[in-house]
Structure 1
Amino acid sequence: MLLNDTADQIRSMEIRGAGRIARAAAGALRDYAAGREDQEMSAFRRAMREAAAVLLETRPTAVSLPNAVQYVMRSFAEASTPEEAKAAIRSAADSFILSSHHAVEWIGEIGARHISDGDRILTHCNSEAALACILTAHRQGKEIEVVATEVRPRNQGLLTIRTLNDAGIRTEYIVDSAVRTFINDADLVITGSDAITVNGAVVNKIGTSQIALAAHEARTNMIVAAETYKFAPRTILGERIAIEERGAEEVLDPAIAAGLPNVTVRNPAFDVTPASYVDLIVTEMGAIPPVMACIIIRDHLGWGIEEFHKAFEIDSSTQE
């Protein structure tokens, strides 16, 4: 698949979900590099920076995307020829994609330990990691039930209930605004995440923060399942995660909107859940409290201050 095609599919949400987006970006950079015929390393670096910039602008909120791009891009920092760089990129991209798949499996195993036999679980959106916890618990023989939200306006909940149905898990499907009605019957809330900040705040599909608030009020534990590459290193420096706002046509038919000149449709795709409403974050490295997010960024992702300087240099060079 061509790099621009991948970018278009990420932008249009044909490729959706933070993990899938990250893997697609890593694969796109690998394939793009393999197809280059540059003789000079300077031309190759410039082309790769431009390719990275194309991918980075597609979805501003999911930090799995820049983490994947950064992982691949820094793999050829010491390469002296395009051929050496291509080999390094291929190795890095393949390693990232493989570890991403394994991460979801490990999260499923670790998350299932926090699900008890007989639990009724509420979940929101279509998260590979959250579903892995639920599916693994089911495969272990635990009798569980799930309440899944509709997830307006893109209805990602349909994907979730199909997966749960196919696995033979009893599931109730509710509109997003009914969460408060059902939260007292839930033993546990499990969601995924598109980004986690240095202080443990969780950026996820719009509606997550309201669910977390309802769970907090009802004293229902909230678990967030997230691969470590969804942690946002630049929040260490105080950078805010941009909340993507999508087109009005996802919410209101353009023909109807045309007759409402005084109405503005707002369609943020994500919201921020405070760390104080999250009981546990389950990663492939283990289950941690939100306050340990900074440890993941520093020790596992390996982002020191010098790495930030290098990253900013890469970003600025793409604007030249």
Structure 2
Amino acid sequence: MSVEDTAERIQSMEVRGALRIAVTAAEAMLSEIMGGADIPSLERSAGVLKAARPSAVSLPNAVDYVLYLSRKHEDENTRIKRVEGFIESQRKARQKIAEIGSHLIEEGDVLLTHCNSTAATSVIKAAHSLGRKIRVFATESRPRYQGHLTYKDLSKAGVDVTLIVDSAVNFTLHEKNIDKVIVGADTVYVNGDVINKIGTSQVALAAHVNDVDFMVATESIKFSPQSLLGIQTQIEERDPREVADFAEQVFNPAFDVTPKEHIHQIITEYGVIPPEAAYHILKEHYSWRLEDG
């Protein structure tokens, strides 16, 4: 598939989820490398891909790392091998998160999740596979109803899951005695703040008020090296018709920012960290990004 077609699939949200976006983009770049593309051509392809979803930090992280590897290794076979290794490491990251995160879910826990995070649902399903009796409440996640996918995924896995409307979160936390909230992330800033599906910050605030642990499950590919330099991610505003086709004015942001003060733990493939430790992940695993400019 061409870079342009891949960008279109990302833009239209046919390809969803920050990790899947990253892997799909890296695979498109790999195809270019295997086709003999030179560095200027790869740079142009990277620009096309990154423009498809400006708010998904995993996309530039993946594409720029492929560019970094391509500049570092002149031999085509070495380039291909390194990029293939990177893609495989990203696929394995989610399994590691599931294994690590499952140990944070206890027997009898009642959980709440928002949107459709494969990292978050992988943790839930891993805990379920260990034989732990748990119950999950999943928000519908308007306006695109990604929570319906979460419900279907968890239900198919045999998890006891209940779908709720977004506006019922605070009531559900109190009425259903929620023990923990677990969500995914699109971007993690150096200070530990998290960008995720619109409504996440409200869920986190409600959890904070109700004294419920709020956990984020995310791969390190979603940590923002740019935030080390004070650069913030652009919040994407989507088509107003997703909300209503009759309203003359609609504000439809796709994401919001959850402050670190409302986050208890971040589950990564490298382990469980407090949000304040995001800096150490970036310093250890993204030094290449700063070196490469």
Report the TM-score when normalising by structure 1.
0.88
CA deviations 1:46-74 (Å, max 9, x no partner) are 11100000000111111111110111111
1:190 aligns with 2:182: yes
**Distance in structure 1 (CA, Å) of the matches to 2:235 and 2:117:** 18
2:150 corresponds to 1:160:
yes
Structure-2 residue corresponding to 1:266: 251
Taking the TM superposition and a 5 Å limit, the aligned residue runs for 1:1-320 are 1-36=1-36, 44-80=38-74, 84=75, 86-184=76-174, 185-253=177-245, 256-257=246-247, 263-303=248-288, 307-308=289-290, 310-311=292-293
Structure 2 gap ranges (5+): none
Deviation of residue 79 (structure 1)? 3.9
Shift of 1:125: 0.9
The one-letter code sitting in structure 1 at the alignment partner of 2:11 is R
* SS class of match (2:108): coil
Q: Distance in 2 between matches of 1:281 and 1:173?
A: 24
Q: What CA distance in whole angstroms lies between the structure 1 residues aligned with 2:51 and 2:217? A: 25
Residue 63 of structure 1 aligns to which amino acid in structure 2?
A: V
1:302 Cα deviation from its structure 2 partner: 2.6
- Once residues 211 and 89 of structure 1 are traced to their aligned partners in structure 2, the CA distance between those partners, rounded to angstroms, is 43
State the 1:310 CA deviation.
Answer: 2.8
Three-state SS of the structure 1 residue aligned to 2:292 is: helix
CA contact (8 A) 1:203 1:272 kept: yes
* Contact 1:23/1:96 (8 A) holds in 2: no
| Residue 309 (structure 1) shift | 5.9
8 Å contact kept, 1:196–1:230:
yes
Letter in 2 for 1:291: E
Q: State the aligned residue count.
A: 291
Asked if structure 1 preserves the Cα contact closer than 8 Å seen for 2:73 and 2:79, the reply is no
Q: Percent identity?
A: 46
Cα-to-partner distance string for 1:64-112 (whole Å, 9 max, x where unaligned): 11110111111021344xxx2x334422332222111211011011111
Structure number with larger C-alpha Rg: 1
| 1:34 CA drift (Å) | 1.8
Give the secondary-structure state (helix, strand or coil) at the position aligned to 1:147. strand
- Higher mean alpha-carbon deviation, 23-32 vs 90-99, is at 90-99
- Matched residues in 1 for 2:135 and 2:197: separation? 22
User: Could you say which residue in structure 2 is the equivalent of 1:41?
Assistant: none
Q: TM-score, normalised by structure 2?
A: 0.96
Quote the offset at 1:216 in angstroms.
Answer: 0.2
Q: Give the counterpart letter for 1:117 in structure 2.
A: E
Q: Which amino acid aligns with 2:129?
A: R
- RMSD of aligned C-alpha atoms? 1.2
Which amino acid letter does the alignment assign opposite residue 211 of structure 1? V
Listed as ranges, the gaps of 5+ residues in structure 1 are 39-43, 258-262, 312-320
SS at match of 1:16: coil
1:318 is aligned to none
Q: CA deviation at 1:35?
A: 2.2
CA distance in 2, matches of 1:93, 1:167: 33
Residues 231-263 of structure 1 show CA distances to partners (whole Å, capped at 9, x for unaligned) of 00110111011111111111112xx24xxxxx3
Q: Give the C-alpha shift of residue 158 in structure 1.
A: 1.2
Change (3 A) 1:148 1:52: same
